[in-house]
Structure 1
Amino acid sequence: MRAARRRGCMRVSPWKGRCQPRLGRGCYRLHFGIAGEMKPVTLPECIIRCANWSTHQPILGSMPTDPGPVPPAKPAATRSRASRPRSGTYTVHDVARMAGVSSVTVSRYFNEPQKVSEALRTRLAQVIEQTGYVPNQVARILATNQGGVVGAVMQNVTSPTFADMVRGMMDVAERNDLQLLLANSHFSRDSEARALRTFAGWHPRALILTRGDHSPESDALLARLKVPIVEAWEVHAGRPFHQVGFSQQVVGRMLAEHFVGQGALRIRFVLNGAVEDGRATRRSEGYAQAMHDAGLVPDVWRARASDDVGAAREAMAALAAMPPGRRPRAVIFANDNMAITAILCAHSHGLAIPGDLAVAGFGDAPLAAVTTPSLTTVRPDPYAIGSRAMEIVVASLHASTASAGPQVQEIACDLVIRESSRVVR
């Protein structure tokens, strides 16, 4: 016995001074809980029934055929019963233990199920259904470099225009095993910076941003991230990232030329009070350049109210207070929400559209075609912008080598001429 103890193969039983094999954890369970039995198993039975019998081989010749009775241990939990771990969340290791497989097999079940036998797939499916196990997606991304999260920071997620853009991104993402996470910056560069810091903690595969004028903090963070970055919605010259969209200046010029071509001499561009909405400001810059080119004086007017409805009502009150001989003959509103509000409240201010005031907007909102009069506007293609932005992400993730430089893809807008913009002479 002493020799056996020196070899680390025996231990003294506290019961009757007998010796018994030093067993591994799994073997110990088999000894005292095989098939629900509540009685000890003798060593010869161990040789036949214990999967770990080879650990006892060196001492079989010196061991008594029956080491004697030992107190029964509690039976091990069977695979059919799931005991919730202390953390309250099952891990891949818990699922592997309960299914009697390795954690690698569990991971393969999710990532490459065709490489797992049908019997194991059935067993794992039962355990996963029982436990409600959900794979750790961050761990999966880091381990496999497949799938993953694409973060998108929107300027205004409540806008119908941006809703179509999100739909385009999601359709492409789902076809390529990518998940889209959204953040809303409310046109604020500081809010965008906070969203980018949060996304960075998720280890995103790529980022899609709907503005190109970021804060210095955001620019520094984006420069450090080694992931594809797409600026979607508008294009700027000299940007270091992929771009998809259109030129805001071109849109502003398009609207101004529409009124200049009808002979209007006094044309106003109305902005709301949200000074951080640089996109509308850039449209006003395109309008101003077109006015200069036509030999006319630009008239950019900004409301105090930052919301579209309040800004439009404020603008209409100011226009109604002007003498007819000095009042602008046409007004370009920064977006359709403002233009539609102007049409709805014009009568209360004693103004007729388009008789006294021709009006146009931007965005082609759903109500633009059904107002009276119907609204002239510029129609972007947000679905195409969103889907193309995500396609660039997918192509960048699958590229074997870095591309020569950032891609710039322009998606043209359409001028939709309706009743509201007719200049009455």
Structure 2
Amino acid sequence: MADVARLAGVSTMTVSRALKQNGQVSGPTREKIIKAVNELGYVLDHSAGTLSSRRTGFIAALVPSINNSNFSDTARGITEELQRAGLQLMLGYTDYSEQKEEELIETMLRRRPEGIILTGGVHTERARRMLKMAAIPVVETWDLPADPIDQVVGFSNEEAMALLTRTLAGRGYQRFGFIGGTSARDQRGDQRRRGFIRALDELGLPPGRLASFGVPPISIEQGGQAIAMMLERWPDTEVAICVSDLSAFGALMECKRRGLAVPGDIAIAGFGDYEVGAFCFPRITSVNVDCYGIGQQAAARVVQILGGKETSRHQEIVLTSFRVVEREST
């Protein structure tokens, strides 16, 4: 402040008033001070102000991956909604690890976010305790947890996959395969597997052929390796449903390398409606889950609570939409 005051030719008290949001300083004086700040390359530190106001101006969000276009779209939805409310996003990624999520929650809570948005509804007990004690809005997304911490914006991964399975069965397919990871590390992927198994059982169809390959998230390469394993073990498989569009794209490319027609020899479907699935050939049947909308609605819920627009705080579960997008791969 002393450096700025000397360069602007004013007192340090005037600098202090000018840099406060409602400081009583004339327009020309404030402009002179801001010009001095910019010339010196200084950035206003809001830390001291947050101690008294209890406002930090940012919301924390945790996603499993930063190179997944679906979670990128969710982060974009959060960001754009927060910007309208004058808030910023601090983003962390968990790499599908509950332990890493717990560590990130602790780290971010130390920086006093005004709210926190999580991906999924499964967390460590310590993470749940920290979040409940934080006294800030907490929104769980991309899931419908049985025991929500606070707010929920999501959908049933199990029911979404069951819908895809029923849709394909309605087109006459009977011998189904499922491609997913080798562990329950991806809780939402595990829920999709359960939805697939349940739908086949309800339809009275033969049990699905389960190809578990690789540690989640399943990559394009692993999708190709998984379909090769499936066809070697169950060559009469009519349709392979993949846990994501990335693994479905890998399966599609492996079929092309083997000279197999899709869907003539085997049909392929994915989950998530990724851009790669919508523009490859043949285009991949998938499930659209409105990734951007999940982020936008989660951020809107946080903003609504922070804005005090509710006469009394209550838990709310916002169900987001999902739909099957049928394309040429099936």
| TM-score, normalisation: structure 1 | 0.71
Q: Any idea what SS the aligned residue of 2:233 has?
A: coil
- Amino acid paired to 2:233: M
Write the distance in 2 (CA, Å) between the matches of 1:175 and 1:93: 34
Q: Is residue 106–residue 124 contact of structure 1 (8 Å, CA) maintained in 2?
A: no
CA distance 1:96–1:193, change in 2 (3 Å)? farther
- Amino acid paired to 1:311: Q
Q: Any idea what SS the aligned residue of 1:183 has?
A: strand
CA distance 1:125–1:190, change in 2 (3 Å)? same
Write the distance in 2 (CA, Å) between the matches of 1:401 and 1:371: 46
Matching of residue 381 in structure 1 with residue 269 in structure 2: no
Matching of residue 139 in structure 1 with residue 43 in structure 2: no
CA distance 1:208–1:353, change in 2 (3 Å)? same
- Amino acid paired to 2:90: L
CA distance 1:374–1:304, change in 2 (3 Å)? closer
Matching of residue 321 in structure 1 with residue 232 in structure 2: yes
CA distance 1:219–1:96, change in 2 (3 Å)? farther
Matching of residue 408 in structure 1 with residue 317 in structure 2: yes
User: 1:174: how far off?
Assistant: 1.4
Q: Structure 1 residue aligned with 2:156, among 219, 232, 247?
A: 247
CA distance 1:358–1:104, change in 2 (3 Å)? farther
Alignment of 1:239-318 (within 5 A): 239-273=148-182, 275-299=184-208, 301-306=210-215, 307-318=218-229
Q: Which has the higher contact order (CA 8 A, sep 6+)?
A: 2
- Amino acid paired to 2:223: A
Structure of larger gyration radius: 1
- Amino acid paired to 2:224: R
User: 1:156: how far off?
Assistant: 0.9
Q: Which residue of 1 aligns with 2:16?
A: 106
- Amino acid paired to 1:106: S
Write the distance in 2 (CA, Å) between the matches of 1:143 and 1:103: 19
Q: Is residue 147–residue 176 contact of structure 1 (8 Å, CA) maintained in 2?
A: no
- Amino acid paired to 1:126: K
Write the distance in 2 (CA, Å) between the matches of 1:283 and 1:335: 10
Write the distance in 1 (CA, Å) between the matches of 2:104 and 2:303: 22
Q: Any idea what SS the aligned residue of 1:352 has?
A: coil
Write the distance in 2 (CA, Å) between the matches of 1:285 and 1:251: 11
Write the distance in 1 (CA, Å) between the matches of 2:224 and 2:70: 22
Q: Structure 2 residue aligned with 1:161, among 64, 70, 77?
A: 70
Q: Which residue of 1 aligns with 2:31?
A: 122
Q: Which residue of 1 aligns with 2:245?
A: 336
CA distance 1:277–1:300, change in 2 (3 Å)? farther
Cα distance per residue 1:165-214 (max 9 Å; x no partner)? 11111111112121111111111111111111110121111101112101
Unaligned runs of 5+ in 1: 1-91
User: 1:221: how far off?
Assistant: 1.2
CA distance 1:96–1:215, change in 2 (3 Å)? farther
Write the distance in 2 (CA, Å) between the matches of 1:301 and 1:166: 32
Q: Which residue of 2 aligns with 1:148?
A: 57
Q: Is residue 179–residue 227 contact of structure 2 (8 Å, CA) maintained in 1?
A: no
Q: Which residue of 2 aligns with 1:392?
A: 301
Q: Is residue 225–residue 251 contact of structure 2 (8 Å, CA) maintained in 1?
A: no
